[in-house]
Amino acid sequence: MSRTFYEFFAGGGMARLGLGPGWTCAFANDFDPVKAATYRANFADAADHFREGDVWTLAPADLPGRADLAWASSPCQDFSLAGARAGLAGGRSSAFFGFWRLVEALHDEDRGPRAVVIENVSGLLTSNAGADFAALCGALAARGYRFGALEIDAARFTPQSRPRVFVVATREPIPPALVGDSPFRTRAVQEAKARLPADLAALWIDWRGEAPGTRNTDLASLLEPDDAVAWHEPRTTDDLLALMGPLHRARVEALRGGGGRSVGAVFRRMRVEGGRKVQRAEARFDGLAGCLRTPRGGSSRQTLVVIEAGQVRTRLLSPREGARLMGLPDTYRLPRAATSALHVVGDGVVVPAVAWLAAHILEPLLDDPASTLAAE
């Protein structure tokens, strides 16, 4: 069975890859020229359905037919803990309303999408003390959708710590098998539900989904060969180590003396110590990378540290390694410039997380006989 979808704020098409071959993209959109070029480079049919430009310039006539699903990964800067937390009123996150006005117009033409997925950072749940999440749920409810949220950490699928919220909304009958416990109904999701007004809480769906299998990769397994990458000069590594606090430096020294090979990820962060802000380098050696961010984001580009035979070496994460952390295959075409490539992958959605959502919720929901009859 082929299902159709619109993908808004499509970036490099990672949601499309996650949905897989059982879905047909009827329309996709992004305003960023680098992301648009990457989308076109990876999908031969892009000329048939991809539209580059601001979502506010689109009209309902640009969207063909009626889609089973509308997917929106709207700009997240104003929800991010690294940003100003301006919420839905913020400049770039107001792009959500550019998307939502199109959904409303489609419903006015009796061709609204059967289901909607809104993906964003976890800060969506708490922005403006929960008022933004309530506003989002209110917008969905006003068009007859019921809804629920899941907080899915990419670490369940790839070696990257990257929690994201997926709000899944539908006007279809809900199969009882899709309601129940979920490993992704986190405390943050439950608290967001508890903050909703009673009329919106009554429309909530506790989406169910089986836990994914055990991840069989770690950060080290996704890296390029040592002789294929550029390493920092020793002085740069020493400067980075000097930025570490006592706990992180002790961890590095313990691994240096322990033998074997250890691979970690390092971020530079501002911390308050003794009443003043200081820059610190913080390393993790749990087999996970930190959350990928765009080069212009709230944190610096991620650094790798490799400890082997008493030697400590550091280097920057490569774009291809970043793509692997997003679940992208090595056949995926990245921009040649490292900054552009990291911009595309750092702003994307993790492919296996989308695949899990499609297999466990979206496809059973939309393929249910009761839903099919309701759509006819």
pLDDT digits (tens, 9 = 90+) for 281-325: 999 999 999 999 876 544 457 899 999 999 999 999 999 999 999
| Average pLDDT over all residues of the chain | 91
pLDDT in tens, 50-109: 999 999 999 999 999 999 999 999 776 555 433 444 555 554 447 788 899 999 999 999
> What's the predicted TM-score (pTM) here?
0.92
- At residue 84, the pLDDT reads 47
CB 266 within 8 A of CB 279: no
Residue 373 scores a pLDDT above 50:
no
Q: Considering the chain, tell me which residue range(s) the CATH 3.40.50.150 domain(s) occupy.
A: 3-212+348-375
- At residue 86, the pLDDT reads 55
- At residue 258, the pLDDT reads 85
Reply yes or no on domain 3-212+348-375 having CATH 3.40.50.150. yes
Residue 218 scores a pLDDT above 90:
yes
CB 311 within 8 A of CB 252: no
- At residue 176, the pLDDT reads 96
pLDDT in tens, 235-252: 999 999 999 999 999 999
Residue 270 scores a pLDDT above 80:
yes
pLDDT in tens, 1-28: 689 999 999 999 999 999 999 999 999 9
- At residue 92, the pLDDT reads 46
- Distance between CA atoms of residues 295 and 126, nearest Å: 25
- Give the pLDDT band (50/70/90) at residue 161: very high
- At residue 131, the pLDDT reads 87
Mean pLDDT across 144-154: 98
- At residue 376, the pLDDT reads 46
- Distance between CA atoms of residues 103 and 90, nearest Å: 21
* 272 or 62, which is more confident: 62
Of the given ranges (41-55, 170-184, 201-215, 359-373), which has the lowest mean pLDDT?
359-373
* CB count in 10 Å sphere of residue 176: 8
Residue 231 scores a pLDDT above 90:
yes
Q: Which long-range contacts (CB under 8 A, 24 or more apart) does 362-365 make?
A: 362/19, 362/69, 362/115, 362/117, 362/168, 363/3, 363/22, 364/175, 364/177, 364/178, 365/115, 365/170, 365/172, 365/174, 365/175, 365/178
Mean pLDDT across 190-201: 97
